[in-house]
Amino acid sequence: MRMHILGICGTFMGGVAALARELGHTVEGSDANVYPPMSTQLEALGIELMRGYAAEHLQPAPDLVVVGNAMTRGNPAVEYMLDTQLRYISGPQWLGETLLAGREVLAVAGTHGKTTTTSLLAHLLEQAGLAPGFLVGGVPANFGVSARLGQGKPFVIEADEYDTAFFDKRSKFVHYRPRIAILNNLEYDHADIFPDVAAIQRQFHHLVRTVPGNGRLIVNAHDKHLAEVLTMGCWTPVETFGIGCGDWQATLVEADGSAFTVHRSGELIGDVHWSLLGNHSVMNALAALAAATAAGADPRALLPAFATFESVKRRMELVGEVNGVRVYDDFAHHPTAIATTLAGLRAKVGAARIVVALEPRSNSMRQGAHAEALAPSLADADAVVFLHRPELPWDARHVTAALGGRGSTVPNVDALLEALRAQVKSGDQVIFMSNGGFEAAPRRFVERLRHD
C-alpha cells in the first residue's frame, strides 16, 4: 500500500510513518516544516518528504491518506483530498485498527510526564526480555528511535488527550484500546480545545471505559481530578501510586529524587538509584514499574534497569558545560511541570544559582491560560528571562513583575541570549524551557559561552 501522511514531521506522525514503513508499506509525506531530526530519521527509512501542502503531492492518488491533527479545513491538500474523495484516516485510528489490534497495549496518559514515562516503561519491558513495540512523542535515548514494532506482544504508546483530527474531535487515546493504562495526572491544559477541567475529565473517562475488566488501571493516588474520573464509573482493577501513599509507594532516600525506596501494598520491593531528578520523576518511575509488573515483569528484577535509563531528548537534557556554567534544555509546557523540575534541580544543586530562559510556546501558554500560575511556578529560580515575542497576546511583564526583581522580558531570542550572557557566572545552572524549537537557543548559548 502507498500511504501519504499529512503532517509527517511531527513526533507522533513521524512515528506512525516509521511503523507503517516497518510493516512494509510504501510511505511518503508532506509537512510545512521539513527539518531534522525527524526529517533525517524518516529519509533514512526511505520515506520521501515533500515541503508544503500542495494538492500535487497527492497526485497520483495514494491508496490511503493519513491525516495529522495539525491539518485544518482550508489546507490545500485537505481540500483536494476531500474534493477528489481520496480514502483517508487519522493517525490514531490507523494505529488502533492496523497495528494495535491483537497487541497487549500499555497506554500512558496524563497532562505531564507522558513521554518520559512511556520511554521508561518501554525500557523496563525491554530489560525484562519482553521486546515491546512502542510509539513515543520524542526520541528515547535508550532506543534512538521514536517508534518500532517490536518482537513481543506488548506495545507501549504515549496516549495524548489532544483531539484526533479535524474530522474526529475525540481524544487520540480513545483509539488505542489498552489493556493496561497509566493515568499519571490531570490538570487544565490545551486551552485551545478544552473549556475547562471537566471537559478533559470526560475524555479521560472515555479512555477508562475502553480498558477491559481483566486489565489494569495505574492511577496517581494524589490526583483529585483523576479520583473524580473514577467516580464516573470504573470496571477495571485499579492500583494507585504515590509518594507516601497508594498501593505502590515511594519513600525518598535523596531529597532530589535520585534515590528512593519502593513498597507495594506494604511489602518492600527495593531501592531505585537513577539520574533523574524531582518528585515528578519518582511518580513517573512508580507508574512505569506498576505497569510493567501488570504486564508480567518481576518488579524486583527491574530495579537495576532504572540506573541505565537515559530519559528522552529535551527532558532536562544537559546540552553542555562551559567554565562552570551548566546549560539544560527542557520541554516545559505547564506551570506544574516547571515547578517540579526546578524543585528537583534545587534539591540537587543547593544554593547554586538557577537561571531560567522561558518561552511560552504551547497553545495554552500563548493564550495566557497559565499566566497567573507562572510566577509561583518559578519560585526556585534566582533569575528568569522571559521571551515575550511581539505577537504574544498578553503582557508577560505581569509575570516578571510578580518575581520581585528576579525577572525580565526580551522580544527575541538574540536579545535573550545576550541577557543571559551578561548575567551568568561560574556555578550557575541555566535551563531553557519551551515545548517548541526555541530557535536552537540552548545550543547557541553554549556556543557563545565557548566563544567567550
Say whether both 211 and 163 belong to one domain.
yes
User: In this structure, are 125 and 260 located in the same domain?
Assistant: yes
pLDDT of residue 337: 82
Give the domain CATH number at 86: 3.40.50.720
Q: How buried is residue 389: exposed, middle or buried, by Cβ count under 10 Å (0-12/13-18/19+)?
A: middle
Domain boundary among 308, 327, 352: 308
Write down which residue in 27, 55, 90 finishes a domain.
Answer: 90
| 46 and 14 both lie in a single domain | yes
Q: Verify that 136 and 232 share a domain, yes or no.
A: yes
3-state helix, strand, coil in the chain (%, to 5): 35, 25, 40
In this structure, what CATH number is given to the domain that contains residue 107? 3.40.1190.10
Candidates 338, 413, 345; CA nearest to 374 is 338
Same domain, 49 and 191: no
| Residue where a domain terminates, one of 42, 60, 90 | 90
All 3 cell numbers of residue 335?
Answer: 506551570
Indicate whether 77 and 216 sit together in one domain: no
* Alpha-carbon distances of 79 from 22, 49, 74, 190, 327, rounded to whole Å: 29, 20, 6, 26, 44
**Helices within 409-440 (DSSP H only):** 413-423
Q: What is the span of the domain harbouring residue 435?
A: 317-451
Q: How far is CA 115 from CA 12, 139, 193, 312, 337, in A?
A: 11, 9, 21, 8, 13
Residue 97 located in a structural domain:
no
* CATH code of 442's domain: 3.90.190.20
CA distances, 64 to each of 6, 9, 25, 78, 125 (Å): 11, 18, 11, 13, 33
On whether both 86 and 67 belong to a single domain, the answer is: yes
- Which H helix or E strand runs over 202? helix 197-210
Q: What are phi and psi of 153, to 5 degrees?
A: -75, -40
**Same-domain pairing of 147 and 263:** yes
Contact 317, 330 (CB under 8 A): yes
Rounded Cα–Cα distance for residues 40 and 285 (Å): 31
CA dihedral 114, 117, 119, 123 (to 10 degrees): -160
**Residues ≥6 apart with Cβ < 8 Å to 54:** 30, 76, 77
Q: Which of 207, 213, 215 has its CA nearest to residue 296?
A: 215
Residue 2, strand partner residues:
26
Task: Specify whether the CB–CB gap between 407 and 388 falls below 8 A.
Answer: no
Rounded Cα–Cα distance for residues 32 and 411 (Å): 25
Residues 80, 124, single domain; the answer is no
Containing 77, the helix (H) or strand (E) segment is helix 76-83
Q: In sequence order, what DSSP letters do the residues of 227-280 get, joined into one string?
A: HHHHHT---S-EEEEEESSSSEEEEESSTTSSEEEEEETTEEEEEEE-S--SHH
- The answer on 378 and 343 residing in a single domain is yes
Establish if 205 belongs to a structural domain.
yes
Same domain flag for 137 and 237: yes
192 and 324 in a single domain? The answer is no
Element holding 50 (H helix, E strand): strand 48-51
- Is 422 contained in some domain? yes
Domain assignment of residue 291, yes or no: yes
Domain count within the chain: 3
Do the Cβ atoms of 157 and 176 come closer than 8 Å? yes
DSSP state of 79: H
Question: Whole-angstrom Cα distance, residue 207 to residue 144?
Answer: 29
Q: Which of 281, 251, 275, 279 is nearest to 263 (CA)?
A: 251
Q: What is the pLDDT along the chain (452 residues), one digit of tens a residue?
A: 999 999 999 889 999 999 999 999 999 999 998 776 678 888 888 999 999 999 999 999 999 999 999 999 999 999 999 999 999 999 999 999 999 999 999 999 998 889 999 999 999 999 999 999 999 988 888 998 889 999 999 999 999 998 999 999 999 999 999 999 999 999 877 667 788 899 999 999 999 999 999 999 999 999 999 999 999 999 999 999 999 999 999 999 998 899 999 999 999 999 999 988 889 899 999 999 999 999 999 999 999 999 999 977 677 788 899 999 999 998 876 788 888 889 888 988 899 999 999 888 766 666 665 667 787 889 899 999 988 888 877 777 778 788 888 988 889 999 999 999 999 999 999 999 887 778 889 999 999 999 88
Beta strands per DSSP E along 257-413: 259-264, 267-273, 317-322, 325-330, 354-358, 383-387, 407-410
Asked whether residue 95 is domain-assigned, the answer is no
Give a three-class secondary structure readout of 204-223. HHHHHHHCCCCCEEEEECCC
CA dist 253 and 261 (Å) reads 7
CB 332 within 8 A of CB 361: no
